[in-house]
Chain A
């Protein structure tokens, strides 16, 4: 009896081990809070689905990522998630993964390689994010005259270019809205604060009606600058930004910020969905899975959103 029990237990353990999939995840690094949250959520998602996740932090270096992918291939993992640090130079290592019949899913950023080398890419549409932010502002101000200042991301970076384009697409045709000043705040809080200070001096404060920041961090810096100038952020100057980090929800709860567009750090969820379908019966997903760009305003219970996000590692 005992023996049968033990054998069946052993069989069950073996069966469980056979079905548990191993996925290697090559992450860029932990340069920002958003990326830390992406890592945390990927681990959570893997755990919930019973996937054995092998995690490798590349410390911002492509050579580390290539080496990690090669090691994953050598180990014979069932799939690879890759958040590429740079767009070029992935062809040969992706070919190796393909020869070993290991599907690769790109997270959050794209690569400069033929798209048959990877299963799918999960990411947000940066232009769309800018459009959502712009549409919110268009609806908010209605027919009022509105002079907008813009805090751009790092010059030449694709989020900065695309988020600027999207916003302009949205306000096009509304002549009462005008972008009067636009400068880079380098995606940082201090950058946002300094540039906003100069905007306030140049535009004599009360003539600015709204601020559009390419990320929340710059908006948070700008809120500080507006407070220091004796104005009321969120009322005198409307503030809309992108990313949806916890601190912006806090600012929204306090009435200092008005709206944010979420860049979800949960890229792994859709990636695992696609992989599970692929393992199940070989379903090929679309080549690009777009994550939602949800708009949050002061009406969306920002305090609750803050609580839900604060432990993700932002």
Chain B
């Protein structure tokens, strides 16, 4: 039986996650409980959602640095809207998603039309969104609404008292949706094609402009959704929230086995990337004596490992060809 070499990074990701879980379980048997699994999914829901958007961006060879700020903006936007107007949260969600999707689409448009590096354009977007959040309020605004109470308390009590929360389910659905879009649609095929090389993609007849706008619009939508989830998670809007989350999301995508230069990867891998990072954090809290900065060190080591793995795979495949 031969395995497609393209699958190696994904298998490596899943393998590392299993191995890490095994190590945790041997030291703290309680790690293998529905409670911890439920926590892992809930605590990383916002990160998982935003990482799905980031996966598509990175698959196309781009980068989106604005998402952390967009999450913070979303939380503040919803909190202020609910505080100052009589809107129903669902209406606020719809307005917000329209805003963030348009914001992403605008960034995609600038990237394509001005042929600017995504890094620069989304860096500007990062400052814009963070600044906009501060314009709305400089303090943390609590969200008090009966509908939010319902959302917050919506969970399925798994056997063993673990909670599968609504936001965790939203995250899993986002992963499924992202995977379908990336691997089963024409749009997804165009994303991979652009990631493989824009010139080739153009020659293949891919509509590069529309696809680029679509990719960043998708990332903006996911960042908005992630912001909604984060606002449910903390039931407040705080302009200083999720600073640096864009980098965590990028790390999750790379640990998830997606090639940072684009063109190869799986959305499912990103989910495991997110869970691996959450697992490291949980382990450190369980241990209780390690400095929490070890999370960053382990993530750094994992990132290096995956970059080396990808380099190695590229070399192997070019040798074969």
Give the interface of A toward B (CB within 8 A): 24, 52-64, 66-68, 70-76, 86-89, 91-92, 112, 156
A156 to B239, CA, bound (A): 14
Q: Is B25 an interface residue (CB 8 A)?
A: no
A91 to B144, CA, bound (A): 11
Give the interface of B toward A (CB within 8 A): 28, 30, 33, 35-36, 39, 42-43, 46, 138-142, 152-153, 230, 233-236, 238, 240-243, 278, 281-282, 284-289, 291-293
Query: Is there contact, CB below 8 Å, between A66 and B234?
Result: yes
Given contacts A54-B287, A88-B236, could you give 7 more A-B pairs where the C-beta distance is less than 8 Å? A24-B288, A63-B43, A64-B292, A74-B30, A74-B35, A112-B142, A156-B139
A55 to B153, CA, bound (A): 28
A63–chain B nearest beta-carbon distance, Å: 7
Contact A67/B43 with A56-B285, A57-B291, A88-B140 known, Cβ cut-off 8 Å: yes
Q: What residues on B are CB-neighbors of A75 within 8 Å?
A: 28, 30, 285-286
Query: Is there contact, CB below 8 Å, between A67 and B293?
Result: no
A86 to B30, CA, bound (A): 30
A66 to B39, CA, bound (A): 10
B311–chain A nearest beta-carbon distance, Å: 30
Query: Is there contact, CB below 8 Å, between A64 and B281?
Result: yes
26 residue pairs A–B, Cβ–Cβ below 8 Å: A52-B288, A54-B286, A54-B288, A55-B288, A56-B284, A59-B293, A61-B241, A62-B234, A63-B46, A63-B234, A64-B281, A66-B233, A67-B285, A70-B43, A71-B39, A71-B285, A74-B30, A74-B35, A74-B39, A75-B285, A87-B140, A88-B140, A88-B238, A89-B142, A92-B152, A92-B153
Q: What residues on A are CB-neighbors of B28 within 8 Å?
A: 75
A313–chain B nearest beta-carbon distance, Å: 13
Query: Is there contact, CB below 8 Å, between B235 and A92?
Result: yes
Query: Is there contact, CB below 8 Å, between B30 and A58?
Result: no
A66, A91, A112, A156: the one within 8 Å of B43 (CB): A66
A24 to B282, CA, bound (A): 13
Residue of chain A at shortest CB distance from B152: A92
A53 to B286, CA, bound (A): 11
B217–chain A nearest beta-carbon distance, Å: 26
